[in-house]
Amino acid sequence: MTPEILGFWILAVTLVGAGLMVVLTKNLFHSVLWLALGLVSTAGVFLLLDAEFLASVQVLLYAGGVITVVVFAIVVTEKLVGERLSSVSRRVGLGTILASALLSALFRVIGKSDVNAVMPEATADFTKWMGISLLTQHVVAFELLAVLLVAGLLAATYFARPEE
């Protein structure tokens, strides 16, 4: 077994386990932490596929930004409601049946496919091109997006602070 295959299986098991914990954990904050682990595991799979740009976007945008916004949403919601939030699954049986059916269909489609994927050689350094493009041609949009994200975080911090 090559190190890449071993790494893939470690990441795959971590990702599936984290995904299950997201839906099975009753505490919403713990569920968000499991989601963060799943997103970082996905970034690891991107790294194994030599997609460094996608891995960095996955970590910065999703594991960093989205998780931060979700945590702020939980804090603000708990503050407005006045009690601790928890997730309660009412239809576990139906969800299990639907997930099993979808997984079965996915395995059937994969089993019938005749694809021998070969990784093509990289023709250009896409990450370098994307970085240069973002910081030259699209620098105004890039900076406006950064200001918008900071403003959103500041607003969430303001609303989540304790009343005086």
Distances (CA, A) of 27 to 34, 86, 87, 88: 11, 5, 6, 9
CA distance 7 to 46: 12
What pTM does this model have? Answer: 0.67
Q: Residue-wise over 37-47: b if at least 16 C-beta within 10 A, else e?
A: bbbbbbbbbbb
Note the pLDDT tens digit of each residue in 114-139: 777 676 666 567 778 878 888 899 88
Which two three-digit tokens encode residue 130? 């994307």
Average pLDDT, the chain: 83
